[in-house]
């Protein structure tokens, strides 16, 4: 289960950008592309993962598609603009220390806003292709159905 502080921080950032909330997921269709940002609690401790998924809009029946079924998927730690130190905010150790309000502000500024800036302007496959070439530095799952389109160097 995801700590409510994480969800509240993401609501603050993603709702004004037109994302809808379903449980601990934020999703929208923009242009011809569907995007979902999901908060996933760790099975091992109180930490949290931020998962991002993209798919062609027609794949999202009734406007919703879980991140696990998206054709392009990665975690926030793959986003080049988020440092390892900032990612420590998602760990249990940091949430246990300090005041909840200070933690929430840090979570908004250091995690939610950079994720929103990364995914917020992606509305077409060309935008996603550009993001994958320059803004993502870690592991990315790209389904074979869309791989050729996104990895074409032209």
Radius of gyration of the chain (CA): 15
The HSE-up count of residue 142 (CA atoms within 13 Å, CB side) is 16
Contact 54, 33 (CB under 8 A): yes
* Angle, alpha carbons 84-140-57 (nearest 5°): 120
Q: Interhelix angle for 4-14 vs 100-107, to 10°?
A: 40
pLDDT at 153: 60
E strand residue ranges, 46-127: 48-56, 72-75
Q: The whole model's pTM is what?
A: 0.90
The HSE-up count of residue 128 (CA atoms within 13 Å, CB side) is 26
**Phi, psi values for residue 152, rounded to 5°:** -65, 125
pLDDT at 78: 93
pLDDT at 6: 86
Nearby residues of 39 by Cβ (< 8 Å), 6 or more positions away: 2, 6, 7, 10, 24, 25, 48, 49, 50, 51
**Residue linked to tokens 């793959």:** 78
- The one-digit pLDDT tens for each residue of the chain (154 residues) are 567 888 999 999 999 999 999 999 999 999 899 999 999 987 877 778 899 999 999 999 888 999 999 999 999 999 999 988 888 888 855 555 557 778 888 889 999 999 999 999 999 999 999 999 888 887 999 999 999 988 876 5
pLDDT at 96: 55
pLDDT at 98: 59
Long-range contacts of 144-148 (CB under 8 A, 24+ apart): 145/71, 146/56, 146/71, 146/72
């Amino acid at each position: 289960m995801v700590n409510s502080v994480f969800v509240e921080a993401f609501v603050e950032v993603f709702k004004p950008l037109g994302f809808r909330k379903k449980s601990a997921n934020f999703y929208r269709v923009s242009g011809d592309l569907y995007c979902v940002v999901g908060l996933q609690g760790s099975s091992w401790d109180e930490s949290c993962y931020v998962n991002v998924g993209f798919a062609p809009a027609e794949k999202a029946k009734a406007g919703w598609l879980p991140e696990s079924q998206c054709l392009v998927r990665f975690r926030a730690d793959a986003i080049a603009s988020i440092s390892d130190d900032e990612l420590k905010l998602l760990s249990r150790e940091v949430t246990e220390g300090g005041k909840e309000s200070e933690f929430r502000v840090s979570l908004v500024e250091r995690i939610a806003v950079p994720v929103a800036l990364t995914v917020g302007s992606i509305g077409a496959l060309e935008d996603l292709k550009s993001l994958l070439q320059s803004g993502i530095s870690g592991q990315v799952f790209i389904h074979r159905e869309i791989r050729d389109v996104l990895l074409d160097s032209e």
